[in-house]
């Protein structure tokens, strides 16, 4: 029976295999058979490596979604403090200039001196101006007497209207000439236009000054200003009269009052000039010092407190945060209300928002993300 089964298998083998294969000796057939089986085995492993199992492919896709840490934040009413970066500036600061030509004959100040309004700063040589002023005054006196005689003669009928008008014109011309010479003589003394501190000296003894050359810079210590700019979003929230705290980079903090808010925006920056008046009774404040202007408009707005490190800056220059919305990262612009060592208060977020606190730098707007909450949603951060 075994022999019959063997005969049937051999017959089936001879019918299925090609002729060239049957002409090979049995050892060669066995060798080729083993090689083919090994090749088939290796090829099945390679295919499995190239085409992973569907469950493995799904796991790999899930592992490519970035993981971000999220904090659920709830907005609460907060005092709407507006912080503006600016600098100090003197309201009255002027370069005092010469109004006539001349050689400097005297300097009556040094840098840092306090001067009163009308005090002489620089004095120019008079030269012949005094003599010409006397001559002009004499001519005016003579023409005045001639005018008086002409009026008497006109009343008696010995002068015509034309002669009377000519006498009046001569007097007015001589009067103007005398006034001009007296003004030129007075302008040889260059005076301070207001009380203040001499901050710069431009002239020296013996210098020849032409009209428009600078003698000194005078800065009025009061009123003093802190100036900055307001964005389009904030300009409507600040009004003249708002109370302000000005924190100087020198460490001083002085109270102030908003005195001016521009009604026209700068064409380049689209911001509005802000001026705050601050006291400076002892002239201690310096012009051009960096300042932080803290304005309290007396109102509450919804805000959340965050770490300043989670703020991001878009390519357009807008400051904001990234939140998770329906499984995707989303950028939301915000406004910084106040900034301190314990955190930063911002407005502009919804009542409840899932803010990305770790990983916001590595995800793009609209990118799908996996959110891991710092604590269970529903609890305020």
Examine residue 58 and state whether it is found in any structural domain, yes or no: no
In this structure, the answer to whether residues 179 and 280 fall within a common structural domain is no
User: Can you list the pairs that 161-170 forms with residues at least 24 positions away whose Cβ atoms lie under 8 Å?
Assistant: 167/143, 170/143, 170/146
Position 43 pLDDT exceeds 90: no
Residue 59 has pLDDT above 70, yes or no: no
* 290 and 327, same domain (yes or no): no
112 lies in a domain? yes
* Cβ atoms within 10 Å, residue 159: 17
Going 165 to 170 to 176 to 182, the CA torsion angle's sign is negative
**What confidence tier does 149 reach under pLDDT thresholds 50, 70, 90?**
confident
Span 167-184, average pLDDT: 89
Same domain, 356 and 367: yes
What residues make up the domain containing 35? 2-51
The CATH number covering residue 87 comes to: 2.40.30.170
Domain boundary among 178, 203, 218: 218
pLDDT, tens digit, for every residue of 216-265?
A: 999 888 888 999 998 887 888 888 998 899 999 888 889 999 999 999 98
pLDDT at residue 65, as a whole number: 85
Read off the pLDDT band of 15 (50, 70, 90).
low
Same domain, 305 and 364: yes
Kindly state whether residues 87 and 234 are assigned to the same domain.
yes
- CA 115 to CA 164: how far, in whole Å? 50
Residues 226 and 199 in one domain: no
Q: Are residues 30 and 143 in the same domain?
A: no
Q: Is residue 28 part of a domain?
A: yes
Domain boundary among 295, 320, 352: 295
CATH number of the domain within which 213 lies: 2.40.50.100
Does any domain span residue 165? Answer: yes
Q: How many domains does the chain fold into?
A: 5
pLDDT in tens, 86-120: 999 888 889 999 999 999 999 999 998 989 999 99
Residue 381 located in a structural domain? no
Residue 250: inside a domain, yes or no?
Answer: yes
Q: Judge whether 288 lies within some domain.
A: yes
Q: What is the pLDDT of residue 228?
A: 92
Q: Are residues 347 and 336 in the same domain?
A: yes
379: in domain = no
Does the pTM surpass 0.95? The reply is no
Handedness of CA 162, 163, 164, 165 (dihedral sign): positive
């Amino acid at each position: 029976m075994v022999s019959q089964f063997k005969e049937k298998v051999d017959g089936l083998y001879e019918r299925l295999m090609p002729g060239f294969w049957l002409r090979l000796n049995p050892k060669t057939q066995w060798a080729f058979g083993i090689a083919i089986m090994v090749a088939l085995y290796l090829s099945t492993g390679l295919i499995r490596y190239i085409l992973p199992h569907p469950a493995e492919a799904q796991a790999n896709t899930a592992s490519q979604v970035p993981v971000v840490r999220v904090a659920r934040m709830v907005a609460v009413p907060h005092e709407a403090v507006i912080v503006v970066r600016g600098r100090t500036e003197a309201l009255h600061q002027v370069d005092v200039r010469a109004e006539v030509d001349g050689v400097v004959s005297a300097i009556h100040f040094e840098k840092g001196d306090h001067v009163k309004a009308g005090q002489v700063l620089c004095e120019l040589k008079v030269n012949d101006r005094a003599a010409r002023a006397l001559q002009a005054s004499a001519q005016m006196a003579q023409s005045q007497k001639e005018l008086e005689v002409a009026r008497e003669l006109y009343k008696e009928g010995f002068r015509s209207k034309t002669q009377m008008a000519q006498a009046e014109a001569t007097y007015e011309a001589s009067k103007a000439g005398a006034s001009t010479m007296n003004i030129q003589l007075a302008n040889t003394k260059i005076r301070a236009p207001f009380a203040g501190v001499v901050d710069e000296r431009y002239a020296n003894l013996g210098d020849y000054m032409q009209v428009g050359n600078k003698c000194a810079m005078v800065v009025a210590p009061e009123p003093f200003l802190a100036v900055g700019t307001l964005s389009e979003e904030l300009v409507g929230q600040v009004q003249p009269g708002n109370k302000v705290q000005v924190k100087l980079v020198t460490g001083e903090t002085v109270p102030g009052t908003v005195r001016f808010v521009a009604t026209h925006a700068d064409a380049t920056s689209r911001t509005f000039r802000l001026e705050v008046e601050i006291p400076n009774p002892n002239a201690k404040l310096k012009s051009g010092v960096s300042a932080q202007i803290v304005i309290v408009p007396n109102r509450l707005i919804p805000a959340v407190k965050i770490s300043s490190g989670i703020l991001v800056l878009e390519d357009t220059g807008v400051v904001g945060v990234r939140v998770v919305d329906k499984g995707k990262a989303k950028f939301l612009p915000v406004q910084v209300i106040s900034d301190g060592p314990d955190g930063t208060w911002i407005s502009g977020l919804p009542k409840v928002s899932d803010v990305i606190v770790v990983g916001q730098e590595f995800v793009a707007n609209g990118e799908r993300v996996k959110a891991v909450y710092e604590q269970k949603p529903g609890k305020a951060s």
